[in-house]
Structure 1
Amino acid sequence: MGVKTEITLSELNQLFPSYGFTKISPTASGIIDTTYIVHTKTNGYILKRYERDIPHKIILDIRLLNNLKSVGLNVPTCLDENSGWYIYEKLKGKQPRSVRNYHIQALGRFLAKMHKETSKKRCNSNIIIEDEVTQALKYVKANYFGYYKRFEFLKNFTHKHEAIIHGDIFKDNTIFNGRDIGVIDFIDSSCGTFAYDVAVALIGFDVRKHNDYFINLFLKSYNQHAPKKLSKKAIKEKMKFAANFFALKRVYEYKNTSRARELLK
């Protein structure tokens, strides 16, 4: 479940009396933080409680979302906060099930515009991927040594700080309203490279099942508007790292080797 801290409809309305909420539903996603979908008579919202001690990161996240919204990107801004509970916009649309050409093209346009915007600002996010890798490798070496041999090469990876990236755009962090894309869950955005951000997104959208076709389609859309052009070779190199990095995380954080194998195919 996506709920660690429970809250009732009555308690919710006491925290946010001006909304007049009529319904609250727990989500099944959001393993780390608590997430509900809540409704008034006319609108839906996302209710979140961060189950980590990251107050500074939450402030940075809210600023980033406001910034991206101001340049026309479809992201959910924070509308209200009380006692550690945050209300966000609920984007219209649904998560894609099967990936089509227009999903990849929209993804390319979104990331190009986002990267163009984040490249203008100093990168000072407080999450560094190398630290995650070191911690995870130590655990996996002690508990899943067969997987450790597969992941060991990650310890030599240096994640350059080019700009703020999302770093986790899998299909379940996107919402499509027709052909228009929205992207959610920026709380773990960090310093990184554009190529890595793109690589994660392409893995998240199953492009490896389509050989190079979707990579070419994505780059044609992305390179028209991005702050710098990316090559297919650079993307493929980062895709190898990204697939193994997220497989490592699944073993380390969720002890889920079957889901790790999905990424290692």
Structure 2
Amino acid sequence: MAVYTDVQPEAAQTLLAQLSLGPLESLTPIGAGIENTNYFVRTPEAVWVLTLFERLSTAELPFYLQLMRHLADRGLPVPAPVAGPEGGLIHEVCGKPAALVNCLSGRDVVAPSLAQIRQAGELSARLHVAAADAPLRQPNLRGPAWREQAAQVVAPYLQGTQAVLLQEELAHQHLSLASADAQHAPQGPVHADMFRDNVLFDGESLSGVIDFYFAGVDHWVFDLAVTLNDWCVDLSSGHLVPEAAQALCEGYAQARTQAGQPVTAAEWRLLPAMRRMAALRFWLSRLADWHLPRAASLLTPKDPAHLERVLQDCRAQPWRPAL
């Protein structure tokens, strides 16, 4: 989340009137994140989150918004987009496509407990299973083709060992995706960005997951790897914390089994390769944001060095859970 477009109270009030949500009490910019413009919108009855989409096109948005609506209707703790009078989930604010969703309770946790990490694994599995029959399909827009393109963009800023690391990981990605395990591992709509700052807790209890705007169809185990690489690594060194990784995978596996879709042997074999792929994806995006920042009134690019350390650790530790 960030602020690229300044929204005036009048524009927010116009949207609230169109949606019959009452008068505007306050409009507060949200500075976290990097992709879209976000505001908290408060009315006498509720707090909402207004998102103006700065990169995603109107044609791409139905997938994300209908996925969120689908998951919310299934009882999962995700933001539910508000529909307009004719049922549309995409609105227009300041000349840009926009969405308004309910603001979930809770807050993110910087240093989650093992119990909270396990809950994150459980929720990830529940999302995968519940999204399997979502009405729309759209590939992960930060998938292999994007990673190839992003690598070309950031390559001029890399030298020596970093340049070698990038080329080696692109080659490893090709081999991994061509493997028999990758061909047989289940795929479907995934969150693809379930970092700890996108998951909310009320005390020890998980209360919500937000920011679905990197979602797309990909391997379920890739999504698990994305989550593992954030929740289960030391934020200073980038090293894997095995007990945290074990808790996440146990929660994930238990929820998949309870849903009648146990994790396959192919998925567990793929996990080390998918961890490298996930680390590469976020290293690339952070390199691009760091070296080619976009103008915004509230924006703090994240240092790509952390994801480079995570990637190096994935290469050094091809970890799998003891299940």
Partner SS state of residue 223, structure 1: helix
Q: Identity rate of aligned residues, in percent?
A: 21
Q: CA deviation at 1:232?
A: 5.3
Q: CA deviation at 1:134?
A: 0.9
Corresponding residue number in structure 2 for 1:259: 303
Query: Deviation digits for residues 13-52 of structure 1, max 9, x if unmatched?
Result: 1232232111011111242211001111242110111112
Distance 1:124 1:87, change over 3 A: closer
Q: How many residues align?
A: 265
Equivalent AA in structure 1 for residue 91 of structure 2: N
**2:40 aligned with 1:37:** yes
Over aligned residue pairs, what C-alpha RMSD do you find? 2.4
Distance 1:53 1:181, change over 3 A: closer
Q: Distance in 1 between the 2:268 and 2:229 partners?
A: 14
**2:215 aligned with 1:201:** no
Corresponding residue number in structure 1 for 2:143: 129
**Structure 1 segment 52-201 matched on structure 2, within 5 A:** 52-80=55-83, 81-83=90-92, 84-120=97-133, 124-126=137-139, 127=141, 129-146=143-160, 147-156=162-171, 157-158=173-174, 162-178=187-203, 179-201=205-227
Residues 53-62 or 103-112, more deviating: 53-62
Partner SS state of residue 7, structure 2: coil
Say whether the 8 Å CA contact 1:216–1:232 is kept in structure 2. no
Say whether the 8 Å CA contact 2:229–2:279 is kept in structure 1. yes
Partner SS state of residue 110, structure 2: coil
Q: CA deviation at 1:88?
A: 0.7
Q: Distance in 2 between the 1:40 and 1:258 partners?
A: 32
Equivalent AA in structure 2 for residue 183 of structure 1: V
Q: Distance in 2 between the 1:61 and 1:258 partners?
A: 24
Q: Distance in 2 between the 1:104 and 1:140 partners?
A: 33
Residues 228-237 or 167-176, more deviating: 228-237
Query: Deviation digits for residues 101-134 of structure 1, max 9, x if unmatched?
Result: 1221111111111111233458731425111111
Q: CA deviation at 1:9?
A: 1.5
Structure 1 residues not aligned, in runs of 5+: none
Q: CA deviation at 1:85?
A: 3.0
Alignment TM-score, normalising by the size of structure 2: 0.74
Structure 2 residues not aligned, in runs of 5+: 84-89, 293-300, 310-323
Say whether the 8 Å CA contact 2:49–2:101 is kept in structure 1. yes
Equivalent AA in structure 1 for residue 221 of structure 2: A
- Which protein, 1 or 2, shows the higher relative CO under an 8 Å CA cutoff with sep ≥ 6? 2
Q: CA deviation at 1:187?
A: 1.5
Corresponding residue number in structure 2 for 1:245: 281
Say whether the 8 Å CA contact 1:122–1:163 is kept in structure 2. no
Equivalent AA in structure 2 for residue 153 of structure 1: E
Query: Deviation digits for residues 83-106 of structure 1, max 9, x if unmatched?
Result: 233211101000112121122111
Q: Distance in 2 between the 1:149 and 1:123 partners?
A: 38
Say whether the 8 Å CA contact 2:232–2:241 is kept in structure 1. no
Say whether the 8 Å CA contact 1:45–1:90 is kept in structure 2. yes
Corresponding residue number in structure 2 for 1:213: 243
Q: CA deviation at 1:195?
A: 1.1
Residues 251-260 or 79-88, more deviating: 251-260
Distance 1:82 1:192, change over 3 A: closer
Q: Distance in 2 between the 1:258 and 1:5 partners?
A: 20
Corresponding residue number in structure 1 for 2:314: none
